[in-house]
A and B are shown apart, each in its own frame.
Chain A
Amino acid sequence: MKFTKHLLAASVSVAAIIATAPAVFAQEATIVLPSNTVGLTSYNPVTAILTNAASFLIFDRLVEVDAARSYHPHLAESWEEAEDGMSWVFHLKQGVTFHNGVPFNAQTIADWLPLYDGTDNAYYTAAIDSIQVVDEYTVKFVMKHPEPNLLYNLAIMGVPEPKSFVAMGENFGVTETIGTGPYKLESFDIGQQTVLVRNDDYTWGSPVAKNTGPAKFEHLTFREIAEASTAFLELKTGGVDMLLSVPADFVPEVEKQSDLKLVSVPGRELVYMVMNVVKEPFTDIKVREAAALAINQQEILDNIYGGIGQVADTFLISALPEAKVADDYRISFNPDKANALLDEAGWTMGADGVRMKDGQPLEVSLWTQSDSVFRRLSEVVQAQLKAVGISAEIATFDSAMIRDQYKSGEQQVAVRSYVWDNADIVDWFFGGDRLGYPNISMFNDPKAEELRAAAMTGSKSSDERIANFTAYHEYVLSQFPFAPIYQPVVSVGYNTSRISMPEVFDAPGIGSTVLMDMAPVE
């Protein structure tokens, strides 16, 4: 009987998958999520490891960040930080309600933040000792220690309705989800699509977006398509209206189509070449500097990435204040100096174009991952290193496995990228206690550790943190454990007969700002 029941249920599921008719909405847009955000299994803002653009529309945040990485009010109208960094006071926006009608106020914050305790995201709130409700719309955080990175964390943390969150348990974010955002969750088919319906009461949008609400589209469908060529063909045939991230290979194809348009949004990725400072020949700082100066960033930008994006000359994306280092620390193509440095280091040019020292050729193994863009990039880097007499043999590893290869510490030089928009990435990749992975360079320098400690835990205010991280960043740059290469932008492709978009966004990446400012074509 039980088996028959399960069989019947399975048959109904299979039949439903075969026969389900699509919903058609009057003001609807269908958007393909970037492939690196495919695979979300829950819109749970407290426990989720992965988030996507739809979650930015369901949940609002206390503060928003703009393209220049300045913080702006959203659910918090204003805030004050104590001089010693030991407390923060947030004044909250009035008249905000959750999707279920529950009002948003100071008690919401007091109930929400403790939900992070014991989760893998607990570090967001780890520096907060206690939360005091000062009045209905004012809340005070008493800190265990100064946390100048607090606004950065709050700009990521979506605010759910705490009582529903607790009541729904594991189902929150799967069957139902409640935030204060411009859209409500209508349906979520894991691995397939998320349908959002407009929150008509929404009037409290962030001033970073031109439209503070309600949103212009009644329904938004976010589809998950991991295969880039399939996503492009959907856009080309009108099956979808927008790709939130057009892969570099398809940008020229989108440009060719008269009804499609591209708009660029700042990215959070940085491509670089990292050198292992404890492996020969990169134990010699002159060789590291020479290899870094041999990289022609502009040539790579033009030939590999079609001129879209910008060259990198530090370890941080250029929008971050800590990337504004003194010009002397910037790493740019300089083949003459690279050759002179290798001569100084005793590596003399051989007849076959490979330098020699003590009878040994200047040969290195260049590690890369199996993605086609990385393979192409590695070949160009190989040619650029060869131009100054460094012979690099490319070793390709599976993208999912290369991280464990790095843990062996056997790498000499590798081409890779990271996606992050906070200066603490310098600590992550060059911290002396993370050798192997993530510290692929094996860089462990006493002075760097001193500067790192000051940057990570010795700053009381945001300005002090910026100054400390800039100093740490400059020192790491001066030791050449890496060569910066490229900063991609995110290219949003959309159908101009269905969607209108502003030409420029004041947004740090794909998020609510971009999606709130798009409108249906009349």
Chain B
Amino acid sequence: MLGYFIRRVLVLIPVSLAVSMVIFSIIHLIPGDPIDNLLKIGAGPEQREIMTARYGLDKPLAVQYWIWLSGVLQGDLGTAIVARRPVADLIAQALPHSLALGLCALAFSTFFGIVLGTIAALNRDRWPDQLIMTVVLLGSTVPGFWLGLLLILVFSVWLGMFPVSGARDWSAMVLPVLTVGLGGTALVARVTRVAMVEAGQRDFLMLLHAKGMRPARIQLRHVLRHALIPVVTILSLRIGWILGGAVTVEVVFARPGLGTLLIKSLNQHDYPVVQACLLILAMAVMLGTLAGDLIQAAMDPRVRAAL
């Protein structure tokens, strides 16, 4: 197990380098130039040249990449060209907001997804199953920005229960968490239901029934436990999504966050910020995948044995 862990961590190094190279190349291939956002009306071509040199954009791409990478390896994400702030400061401002929203939404979707998936599996092909799966299907197909506006209309405008937007207190978190969490709930509920149905068909359950164990206890202690393995895998794969998956919801609810920062910086071609945001998101996905594999190994003796 330890050897597996070390191997997986070592693999992350070349993967991260490759990811950083892809991110850097893509950003610089997109048409556009941050200097366009800095030049004020009246500035002449010579001012463009001065600014291009000031921000090192006149150097060959490979040199720019090396300067950026060596900075990142020393923990320096650079300074935003358009936003004029250290990139680390901008990310430190945004990251807690994305984490707060993402973690709350993950907790919400985990709890309600497992509960609804279990209820659906226990009532397979009966009306509670059909009702839950219909709602879940709707929840996973409705776009986040539309659902967000709908929730604002109902809970803020008509019922006056929650603020329309902002990130001032816990009440402002409710609707964004619902909006982000409902999509995740649908996914977790579907996976839980399928896994529960599959686990419910295992042979060992006959033994438990024969031993006289109560059906409810069998379902909750044994079937659900087996069914949670794929659910945990799905959840761990969504760690990257926690940070960057709520962009439209952040915009609708006027919340700061990594997604908002990324979109704004992308529109301004603020390369250092975009590169840092994408690198963090990529690292989160890679670490989430690693965590998912390790959790799966810890939970399932068959996976452990195969390592």
- Tell whether A and B belong to one assembly: yes
A189, CB-defined interface residue at 8 Å: yes
A225, CB-defined interface residue at 8 Å: yes
CB-CB under 8 A from B160, the residues of chain A are 237
Nearest chain A residue, comparing its CB with the CB of B266: A400
Q: Nearest-CB distance from A119 to chain B (Å)?
A: 10
Is the beta-carbon distance between A400 and B32 smaller than 8 angstroms?
yes
B residues contacting the other copy or chain, number (CB 8 A): 58
Which of B30, B85, B157 meets A233, CB within 8 Å? B157
- Assuming the A-B contacts A18-B100, A18-B173, A192-B256, are A230 and B152 also in contact, with contact meaning beta carbons closer than 8 angstroms in the complex? yes
Is the beta-carbon distance between B85 and A236 smaller than 8 angstroms?
no
B103, CB-defined interface residue at 8 Å: yes
A405, CB-defined interface residue at 8 Å: yes
Q: Which of A19-27, A80-88, A212-220, A294-302 contacts B (4 or more CB under 8 A)?
A: A19-27
Is the beta-carbon distance between B41 and A428 smaller than 8 angstroms?
yes
A420, CB-defined interface residue at 8 Å: yes
Is the beta-carbon distance between B164 and A424 smaller than 8 angstroms?
no
Is the beta-carbon distance between B84 and A47 smaller than 8 angstroms?
yes
* Interchain CA distance A42-B79 in the complex, whole Å: 13
B residues 36-82 near A (Cβ < 8 Å) are 36-38, 40-45, 47, 51, 80, 82
Which of B167, B253, B261 meets A17, CB within 8 Å? B167
Nearest chain A residue, comparing its CB with the CB of B99: A14
Is the beta-carbon distance between B165 and A41 smaller than 8 angstroms?
no
* Interchain CA distance A191-B257 in the complex, whole Å: 9
Nearest chain B residue, comparing its CB with the CB of A405: B31
A350, CB-defined interface residue at 8 Å: no
B299, CB-defined interface residue at 8 Å: no
CB-CB under 8 A from B37, the residues of chain A are 49
A404, CB-defined interface residue at 8 Å: yes
Is the beta-carbon distance between B104 and A190 smaller than 8 angstroms?
no
- Assuming the A-B contacts A17-B97, A174-B85, A234-B164, are A191 and B256 also in contact, with contact meaning beta carbons closer than 8 angstroms in the complex? yes
* Interchain CA distance A170-B261 in the complex, whole Å: 20
Q: Nearest-CB distance from A433 to chain B (Å)?
A: 6
The 0/1 profile, CB within 8 Å of B marked 1, for residues 481-493 of chain A is 0000000000000
A10, CB-defined interface residue at 8 Å: yes
Nearest chain B residue, comparing its CB with the CB of A234: B164
Q: Nearest-CB distance from A148 to chain B (Å)?
A: 13
Is the beta-carbon distance between A120 and B38 smaller than 8 angstroms?
yes
Q: Nearest-CB distance from A7 to chain B (Å)?
A: 12
Q: Which of B88-96, B108-116, B127-135, B282-290 contacts A (4 or more CB under 8 A)?
A: B88-96
* Interchain CA distance A20-B163 in the complex, whole Å: 14
CB-CB under 8 A from B267, the residues of chain A are 399-400
* Interchain CA distance A49-B94 in the complex, whole Å: 21
* Interchain CA distance A437-B41 in the complex, whole Å: 12
Is the beta-carbon distance between B164 and A18 smaller than 8 angstroms?
no
Nearest chain B residue, comparing its CB with the CB of A12: B96
Q: Nearest-CB distance from B26 to chain A (Å)?
A: 14
Q: Nearest-CB distance from B101 to chain A (Å)?
A: 9
Is the beta-carbon distance between B41 and A20 smaller than 8 angstroms?
no
Is the beta-carbon distance between A230 and B94 smaller than 8 angstroms?
no
The 0/1 profile, CB within 8 Å of A marked 1, for residues 241-272 of chain B is 00000000001111110001100101101000
B293, CB-defined interface residue at 8 Å: no
- Assuming the A-B contacts A226-B254, A236-B157, are A403 and B93 also in contact, with contact meaning beta carbons closer than 8 angstroms in the complex? no
Which of B43, B80, B96, B166 meets A13, CB within 8 Å? B96
- Assuming the A-B contacts A14-B99, A190-B256, A404-B31, are A237 and B166 also in contact, with contact meaning beta carbons closer than 8 angstroms in the complex? no
Is the beta-carbon distance between B82 and A233 smaller than 8 angstroms?
no
A383, CB-defined interface residue at 8 Å: no
Is the beta-carbon distance between A48 and B84 smaller than 8 angstroms?
yes
Is the beta-carbon distance between A233 and B84 smaller than 8 angstroms?
no
Is the beta-carbon distance between A42 and B84 smaller than 8 angstroms?
yes
- Assuming the A-B contacts A18-B170, A237-B160, A405-B31, are A10 and B252 also in contact, with contact meaning beta carbons closer than 8 angstroms in the complex? no
* Interchain CA distance A44-B33 in the complex, whole Å: 23
Which of A123, A193, A404, A434 meets B40, CB within 8 Å? A123
Is the beta-carbon distance between A191 and B260 smaller than 8 angstroms?
yes
Is the beta-carbon distance between B253 and A403 smaller than 8 angstroms?
no
Q: Nearest-CB distance from B158 to chain A (Å)?
A: 10
Nearest chain B residue, comparing its CB with the CB of A32: B254
25 A-B contacts, Cβ less than 8 Å apart? A10-B95, A14-B99, A18-B173, A19-B169, A20-B168, A22-B168, A42-B85, A49-B40, A49-B82, A120-B38, A120-B40, A190-B256, A193-B166, A226-B254, A230-B164, A230-B252, A230-B253, A231-B254, A233-B152, A239-B164, A239-B165, A400-B269, A401-B32, A428-B41, A428-B42
Task: Report A's interface with B, CB cutoff 8 A.
Answer: 10, 13-14, 16-22, 39, 41-42, 44, 47-49, 120-121, 123, 170, 174, 189-193, 223-227, 229-231, 233-234, 236-237, 239, 399-401, 403-405, 420, 422, 424-425, 427-428, 433-434, 437
Other A-B pairs, 18, CB within 8 Å; known A190-B256, A230-B149: A10-B95, A14-B100, A17-B96, A18-B170, A19-B170, A20-B169, A41-B85, A123-B47, A190-B90, A191-B256, A223-B166, A230-B254, A233-B165, A237-B160, A400-B266, A401-B30, A427-B42, A437-B36
Task: Report B's interface with A, CB cutoff 8 A.
Answer: 30-33, 36-38, 40-45, 47, 51, 80, 82-86, 90, 93-97, 99-100, 103-104, 149, 152-153, 156-157, 160, 163-170, 173, 251-256, 260-261, 264, 266-267, 269
